[in-house]
């Protein structure tokens, strides 16, 4: 079933229902929960809550939010991989965190289907507890940077979902989903912005769940999306790029007596373009999974499966070129701008 969502998750997927867009009417006019937490190892304060309910007869809503702050992590000894004498520490410096998250959703639901939208936001600022001695060019008069590196990120997301339940002998449910994400983060070197990253993308999918007979069920559909990634600053180790992907998938299950048979397939296409040079590369391949289970007794089931899974490279894997604290690679990148990739062997 993981082939419905991607080609590389042979170990399965985590199916998260956030409840922002209700697909069925809530069982109560108003329900919710609130949580407050504290932690001593980081002086953590964490508060969250959500409310769901009805606005009228067929209109469902959802509101949720979270606020979390932590200080540096308390540790019993050394904070460095290769410590020097006297490097013992009581805290892991620059490991603090501050996060705020919120979401609002509303949907119209009845017996034959649903349609709804949701908007959400996620802001976080956290430190990177890493020691990296960057090589400085003495002739440029470079001075050692003070203060740790921190990440200040913001994400805004819009979601749309709709579904219809035809109620006929073949189709059980047909759903369509669209997600649009606007993400950016700044790498702070002290109080100054060193490098900024921008990731704007949309992803859409349509899937149909069907029942050919009482023992033969399945799902098939299509998925596609576009991702634009850019980095600006002194350590912009990846050029501006665009990734386009498209997939067709199907998973079918047949039950015959004590046997349960399952087959899944996913055809996927991906094209990545380096906007700085115009270089483009594409990938096309199949992922296939076959499985069978025999319920020998009420207590014993025998199962076997075989999978062929394909993972396409991401834009970061294809076009990244240059030093950066994320890779613990020494040496600043050129101040002329982001690295350029023109079709040479990509660095994974």
Q: Which run of H or E residues covers position 45?
A: strand 44-54
Residue 180 and residue 200: Cα distance in Å, rounded? 8
- SS3 call for 319: helix
Q: Which residue from 207, 203, 249, 247 is spatially nearest to 226, judged by alpha carbons?
A: 203
Decide: residue 327, CB within 10 A, 0-12 exposed, 13-18 middle, 19+ buried: exposed
Report pLDDT for 41. 93
Decide: residue 207, CB within 10 A, 0-12 exposed, 13-18 middle, 19+ buried: buried
Instruction: Please state whether 115 falls in left (phi above 0), alpha (psi between -120 and 50) or beta.
Output: beta
Residue 283 and residue 327: Cα distance in Å, rounded? 26
Report pLDDT for 136. 43
Q: pTM for the whole thing?
A: 0.82
In tens, the pLDDT along 19-70 reads 899 999 988 999 999 999 999 999 999 999 999 999 988 999 999 999 999 9
Residue with tokens 């034959």: 112
Residue with tokens 């790498």: 187
Q: Are 209 and 220 in contact (CB under 8 A)?
A: no
Q: Which residue from 320, 313, 318 is spatially nearest to 197, judged by alpha carbons?
A: 320
What is the Cα Rg of the chain in Å? 25
Report pLDDT for 214. 87
> Which residue positions in the chain have pLDDT lower than 70?
9-11, 131-147, 323-348
Report pLDDT for 198. 96
User: From residue 1, how far is each of 176, 224, 248, 258 by CA, in Å?
Assistant: 18, 18, 14, 21
Q: What are phi and psi of 5, to 5 degrees?
A: -110, -25
Q: Are 118 and 103 in contact (CB under 8 A)?
A: yes
Report pLDDT for 212. 87
């Amino acid at each position: 079933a993981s082939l419905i969502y991607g080609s590389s998750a042979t170990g399965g997927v985590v199916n998260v229902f956030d409840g922002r867009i209700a697909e069925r009417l809530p069982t109560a006019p108003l329900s919710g929960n609130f949580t407050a937490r504290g932690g001593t190892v980081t002086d953590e304060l964490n508060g969250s809550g959500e409310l769901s309910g009805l606005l009228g007869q067929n209109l469902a809503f959802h509101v949720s939010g979270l606020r979390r702050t932590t200080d540096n992590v308390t540790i019993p000894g050394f904070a460095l991989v290769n410590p020097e004498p006297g490097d013992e520490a009581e805290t892991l410096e620059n490991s603090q965190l501050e996060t705020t998250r919120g979401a609002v959703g509303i949907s119209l639901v009845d017996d034959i289907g649903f349609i709804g939208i949701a908007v959400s936001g996620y802001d976080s600022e956290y430190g990177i507890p890493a020691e990296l001695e960057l090589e400085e060019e003495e002739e440029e008069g470079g001075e050692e940077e003070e203060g740790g590196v921190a990440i200040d990120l913001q994400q805004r997301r819009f979601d749309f979902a709709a579904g219809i339940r035809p109620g006929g002998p073949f189709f059980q449910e047909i759903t369509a989903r669209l997600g649009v994400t606007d993400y950016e983060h700044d790498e702070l070197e002290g109080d100054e912005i060193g490098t900024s990253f921008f990731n704007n993308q949309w992803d859409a999918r349509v899937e149909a769940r069907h029942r050919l007979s009482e023992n033969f069920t399945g799902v098939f559909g299509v998925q596609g999306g576009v991702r634009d990634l850019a980095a600006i600053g002194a350590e912009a180790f990846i050029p501006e790029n665009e990734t386009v992907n498209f997939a067709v998938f199907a998973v079918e299950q047949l039950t015959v007596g004590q046997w349960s048979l399952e087959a899944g397939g996913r055809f996927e296409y991906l094209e990545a373009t380096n906007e700085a040079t115009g270089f483009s590369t594409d990938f096309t391949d199949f992922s296939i999974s076959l499985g069978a289970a025999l319920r020998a007794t009420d207590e014993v089931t025998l199962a076997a499966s075989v999978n062929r899974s394909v993972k396409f490279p991401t834009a970061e894997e294809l076009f990244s070129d240059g030093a950066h604290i994320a890779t613990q690679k020494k040496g600043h990148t050129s101040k002329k701008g982001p690295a350029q990739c023109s079709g040479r062997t990509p660095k994974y």
